Structure 1
């Protein structure tokens, strides 16, 4: 019975952390509230535009809700203005309907409403087709504002979850998959390596490379959840830590694919019966790739850990794995050097394997991570300074214009 409750609790926790479940619940509640408010304020007997707008604008993050609300309201207002303008010139007919749809879609592209371009034409058609044009236009705009306002208020009062943990889990999963692939490659180094098996590892590396897009989507959602969220005080730093961490792992995954390509080429040269590497080199390489995979996982845990104590433990593990990897790398280099002197034809592929391992270890080095993080912080500070300067110049122009009006009114007196 206790085991059943444990599994049930774990399932509930997974559901609570699922963005789809969170969005479903939040959108349903916000749309219902928007309808109740619109019934009180709108003259329409069934003001369904308000819950529809709330349904569309309520997202899993405050930032995406705000941007969606602005685009939604903008599309409806533009559509209503187009309908009012057309109604003053032409009535409703097949050619005027086609003309208003064309104009709405074109204007929607220029006003940057993105996915709500069709909403411009829909609003214009609905308003143009009613007899009480002015009243219907105002009601539609009012209901849209109510829905957008309720959606925004709902997300600010009941702040949505921060999806940093979900993004961190995706980053760690990517690193663990890369480590698993390196271990599979390492197990095949000491024996005959059929080209088919080496090609299969290369295919897995390519699939791992493609999985980065899914992790990037989870990270973008986490970045949005940190923007404008009242729960977060250091959102910029958290975003940059995750982003630079994913960039580093992306480079490492690409290098793993290149490593798999080099080993596939070496397998083609060796043939199905010949050993891929000499026995002593294969043992050292297996140890080296194990440390490299462990360093990637430790790095992923480090960038996704929010608690300082856990971060210190992850950093210590990363330093230990990197130290062991560099020691193994030097041993492999000495062994390969002796074998290359006996068989010079293999020096290029041997050297490429070492170069690819070096690239991964360099990317995972703490000093490299700190340098990239500082560069991103400096870039963000410069962008923020430029934004503040633009706002300051705009405010200065407004003060100057206000002063000119004041002096002009004084001269008239």
Structure 2
């Protein structure tokens, strides 16, 4: 891979966040110029640049991390300067001490990096005095508070739509996986066809992980968000559906693998297999209906699914009875999951 390509992200930062960052920097600098007499408020500008994040909760955490790092770094630099004076080796000593202190305190990477940077900036920016150090701490706090306020006031981000679409897409693709089993049993697929179906079913696991990551990001965006009340119910419903789909993905993958490993040319000849195919097709219809309710943002209602009563096998197949029994048990468990009866 071209190393230069790593400098670019696969997606752009939302333009609104760019605007909010610019507004936060300008507002923080202007406010500091009114409150603090002195040089350009570099610490305030840096804090504003770093604190504006995709969610208000992340901005709050970044503000705390940066403020803590600045306080430790400024206090450390001031103390060392008063004891040892001003020279190049003093700056290097402060940087080394900052690294060791951050390690000893188990600070987060943001805070740990900020300790050393703040100490170095204080020692190289001019005459170090207690008032100068206090002003730099105040600048950081002002920059962080302004950035947090701007992020909360200017259309606080809500990452609900990506999570909603991910869950609906997962439900739709899970329905397709069940329908694929029904078609394969009806048409009498061979081993290679079932192997391809298994690969597609296994891909649902990664898709479910991505849906869960989207839900986590949405929950993060709602934390401390003034608009959270109007979106919380939808997100909670999506999270509940994703948990049901986790079970269904496991079931459809297991069913596909069992058929791939145990299928045979005469499997389709057993009359029970045709009835199993019908039941699996009904499962697909139920899951597809669930995906449509998710897309329409409707409350998933526990209702009688298209599945009929459990199948009865009066005469087990002498060759495929293990596979047929496993499929019947999977159908029973899927039915319980769709009805909300599974403990």
The interval holding the TM-score normalised by the smaller chain is 0.7 to 0.9
Q: 1:294 to 1:128 in 2, by over 3 A?
A: farther
Secondary structure of the 2:84 match is: coil
- Rounded Cα–Cα distance in structure 2 between residues aligned with 1:72 and 1:102: 19
- Indicate conservation of the 8 Å contact 1:189/1:282, yes or no: yes
Secondary structure of the 2:224 match is: coil
Pairs aligned (count): 330
The aligned counterpart of 2:279 is 288
The aligned counterpart of 1:405 is none
TM-score by length of 1: 0.69
Relative contact order: is structure 1 or structure 2 higher (C-alpha 8 Å, sep ≥ 6)? Answer: 2
Q: 1:250 to 1:129 in 2, by over 3 A?
A: same
TM-score by length of 2: 0.81
Q: Deviations over 1:109-159 (max 9, x none)?
A: 526445432122211222233441235533432332122111121133234
- Rounded Cα–Cα distance in structure 2 between residues aligned with 1:196 and 1:43: 76
- Indicate conservation of the 8 Å contact 2:267/2:320, yes or no: no
The aligned counterpart of 2:162 is 166
The aligned counterpart of 2:17 is 23
- Rounded Cα–Cα distance in structure 2 between residues aligned with 1:349 and 1:276: 10
The aligned counterpart of 1:354 is 328
- Rounded Cα–Cα distance in structure 2 between residues aligned with 1:168 and 1:137: 48
Greater mean deviation of Cα atoms: 65-74 or 113-122: 113-122
Aligned with 1:122 (options 113, 117, 128): 117
Structure number with the higher helix fraction is 1
Aligned with 2:76 (options 72, 82, 92): 82
- The Cα shift of 1:200 comes to 2.0
Q: 1:214 to 1:42 in 2, by over 3 A?
A: farther
| Unaligned residue ranges in structure 2 (runs of 5+) | 1-11
Q: 1:186 to 1:104 in 2, by over 3 A?
A: farther
| Unaligned residue ranges in structure 1 (runs of 5+) | 1-17, 372-413
**2:331 is the counterpart of 1:365:** no
- Indicate conservation of the 8 Å contact 1:165/1:304, yes or no: no
- Indicate conservation of the 8 Å contact 2:69/2:114, yes or no: yes
Q: 1:51 to 1:192 in 2, by over 3 A?
A: same
Q: Considering only aligned residues, what root-mean-square deviation do their CA atoms show, in Å?
A: 3.2
**2:292 is the counterpart of 1:319:** no
- Rounded Cα–Cα distance in structure 2 between residues aligned with 1:19 and 1:175: 29
- Indicate conservation of the 8 Å contact 1:179/1:293, yes or no: yes
Q: 1:360 to 1:125 in 2, by over 3 A?
A: farther
- Indicate conservation of the 8 Å contact 2:20/2:154, yes or no: no
Secondary structure of the 1:162 match is: coil
- Rounded Cα–Cα distance in structure 1 between residues aligned with 2:225 and 2:234: 13
- Rounded Cα–Cα distance in structure 1 between residues aligned with 2:19 and 2:267: 56
The aligned counterpart of 1:183 is 179
**2:132 is the counterpart of 1:150:** no
- Rounded Cα–Cα distance in structure 2 between residues aligned with 1:221 and 1:191: 42
- The Cα shift of 1:253 comes to 1.4
Following superposition of structure 1 onto structure 2, how do residues 83-122 of structure 1 map, counting pairs within 5 Å? 83-91=77-85, 97=91, 99-109=93-103, 110=105, 112-122=107-117
